Amino acid sequence: MRSLGLIFPDQLSKNNLVYENLNKDDTLLYFEPVQTFYDIPHHKQKIIFLISSFRKLISNINRKNIIHKKISNRPSKLKDTLKELLQENEFNKLYVTKPSDFQTLKDLMFFCQINSIELIVLKDTKFICSNEDFQSWSTGKKSLIQEFFYRWIRKKYSILMDGDKPIGGKWNLDKDNRKGASAIKEEIPDRNNIKTDEVIVDVMVEVNEIFKDSFGDIDNFNWATTHDEAWEQMNWFYKVYFKNFGSYQDAMKSDEPFMFHSLLSAYLNAGLLDPMECVIEAEKLYSTENIPLNSVEGFIRQIIGWREFIRGIYWSNMPHYKELNYFKNSRKLPEFFWSGNTDMHCIQQSVDSTRKYAYAHHIQRLMVTGNFAMLAGISPSQICDWYLAVYIDAYEWVELPNTLGMATFSDGGVVGSKPYAASGKYINRMSNYCSSCIHNPKNTIEDDSCPFNYLYWNFLIENSNSLSSNPRMKLVYNTLGKFDDAFKEKVKLKSKIFLKEIS
């Protein structure tokens, strides 16, 4: 009896453990038509990136028993493909790297159980921590705080450490990462162009035909699709943008979608880059190239702290996590999340960037689109599906906790201790968006008021029963209490009219 190895398009790691566990005569299945591609309108660039990278990887695999299921207008479902293979080539073991979502894992478990096949789920080498590591750290804790997990990882792997203390004396330099767009005095360098080869062009044609109704433009496709190209993009970031990354990572600027960000998350989350290798290279630059500590620490924190923590949260809380809806929000996602046709300049910029590049940086996602979805009472399932669909780096393990937890507080505090709710004043402080907008970020109940302002106070009023007792919300509720009833009624009326208009 033989074994079958199964690899999905986001499992591109060179050291994927499936390879190590198969004998030379075992069959290796590369499965392209992931069901979620067909269930929701994934950004075309995301599918092009994954399928192009997948096919280039397969072309370099030196095995005789390879089966490559490709995307098509009539896709093979995973369970049907496995059933066919079982009939043609009997196997009693199925090796797979842990999938990116709970449903796929559940489907594999069910298939193997009813067919008496041993399922061996292997560690995903795209991550530093295993799920067992996270469970070991989290066991016995009343609440899971990302900062403490981050420190634990730093100590365990001796990253940016001076003995048993953090280099520079502080674990977290987030307060040094918050300069707004107005502080930027230099030109932001253009991104380098990545060659579009024959493989990518062929995939573009297929994707345009098979997923013609999916979201996004393909004209601006500029993503690495091999390990070597991704490594080059990492080094380009270190050379050109890294020194300014830390100070301006929260800043937003009109028609500057990338700012000083790395754009490496797509490669990390698909396996074209190894997270620890990225961290080691970044740490070296602090010593050899005098890259500011707030840039190095901020970058490393995103990889070993936040990324690893979010994955642990996902697998520790599924499947019930996906159904959480703390505020019981049910409004439909506004059409302008797809079209960008709105007079709110910040949302227009964020959606426009997303449509063009399958990308928006973390503050655009958290404090513009995510913040708006929470303030406007958008259904968590709809906003989560949108984030999963439109971003090139989005998979359920990373998208769900970031959206359901961090951006909209729909999980009621599993990820964060308070909602990241903010008015237009925050957006005005961190960006130059408001200077090109018809709405005034200084006004709340006037005719030209920024919708974020009255929606913010309306959100606090509507959810006072569940939020006013939160210690971290005490200050803002004290402020709310100082407003008279006339102000509050005007806020509620403006919010009601606005929400009706966008429904």
334-346 pLDDT per residue, tens: 999 999 999 999 9
383-390, long-range: CB < 8 A, 24+ apart: 383/333, 383/407, 383/408, 384/322, 385/40, 386/333, 386/337, 388/36, 388/40, 388/42, 389/40, 389/41, 389/42, 389/43, 389/215, 390/42, 390/43, 390/215, 390/216, 390/354, 390/355, 390/358
16-27 pLDDT per residue, tens: 999 999 998 999
Q: Is the separation of the CB atoms in 299 and 176 below 8 Å?
A: no
CATH number of 131-189+241-317: 1.25.40.80
The pTM assigned to this predicted structure is 0.96
* CATH architecture entry for 336-502: Orthogonal Bundle (1.10)
Q: Is the separation of the CB atoms in 503 and 332 below 8 Å?
A: yes
The single residue listed with the structure tokens 């702290």 is 305
The predicted pLDDT at position 75 comes to 85
Q: Is the pLDDT of residue 1 over 70?
A: no
Number of H helices, E strands in the chain: 25, 7
The distance from CA 267 to its chain's CA centroid, rounded to whole angstroms, is: 12
How far is it, in rounded angstroms, from Cα 407 to Cα 418? 10
**CATH classification for the domain delimited by 2-122, as one of 3.30.450.20, 3.40.50.700, 3.30.230.10, 3.40.50.620:** 3.40.50.620
Which among 325, 179, 317, 314 has a CA at the least distance from the CA of 260? 179
The predicted pLDDT at position 109 comes to 98
The predicted pLDDT at position 428 comes to 97
Instruction: Tell me whether the omega of the peptide bond preceding residue 401 falls within 30 degrees of 0, making it cis.
Output: no
Which among 68, 54, 122, 123 has a CA at the least distance from the CA of 272? 54
The single residue listed with the structure tokens 């009255």 is 454
167-203 pLDDT per residue, tens: 999 999 989 898 999 999 989 999 999 999 999 999 9
Interstrand relation of 118-122 and 165-166 (parallel, antiparallel or unpaired): unpaired
96-126 pLDDT per residue, tens: 999 999 999 999 999 999 999 999 999 999 9
Give 440's DSSP letter.
B
Which among 358, 336, 372 has a CA at the least distance from the CA of 458? 372
Give 5's DSSP letter.
E
How far is it, in rounded angstroms, from Cα 373 to Cα 183? 28
By percentage, how much of the chain surpasses pLDDT 70? 100
Alpha-carbon separation of residue 89 from 27, 83, 107, 244 (angstroms): 8, 10, 20, 55
Domains 2-122 and 336-502 share a fold: no
How far is it, in rounded angstroms, from Cα 467 to Cα 477? 9
The predicted pLDDT at position 176 comes to 87
Q: Is the pLDDT of residue 76 over 90?
A: no
Greatest Cα pair distance in the chain: 77
- Count Cα atoms within 13 angstroms, Cβ side, for 53: 32
The predicted pLDDT at position 189 comes to 96
> Which residues, 6 or more positions from 474, have their beta carbon under 8 angstroms from its beta carbon?
none
The single residue listed with the structure tokens 């989350």 is 269
204-257 pLDDT per residue, tens: 999 999 999 999 999 999 999 999 999 999 999 999 999 999 999 999 999 999
Q: Which amino acid is at 487?
A: F
Average pLDDT value for residue range 404-428: 96
Q: Is the separation of the CB atoms in 290 and 31 below 8 Å?
A: no
446-501 pLDDT per residue, tens: 999 999 999 999 999 999 999 999 999 999 999 999 999 999 999 999 999 999 99
Interstrand relation of 161-162 and 165-166 (parallel, antiparallel or unpaired): antiparallel
In the beta sheet, which residues pair with residue 2?
91
Which among 234, 246, 254 has a CA at the least distance from the CA of 192? 234
Domain ranges of the chain: 2-122, 131-189+241-317, 336-502
Q: What is the DSSP string of 268-327?
A: HHHTSS-HHHHHHHHHHHHHHS---HHHHHHHHIIIIIIIHHHHHHHHHHTTGGGG--TT
The predicted pLDDT at position 277 comes to 97
In the beta sheet, which residues pair with residue 97?
122
How far is it, in rounded angstroms, from Cα 382 to Cα 288? 46
Q: Which amino acid is at 287?
A: S
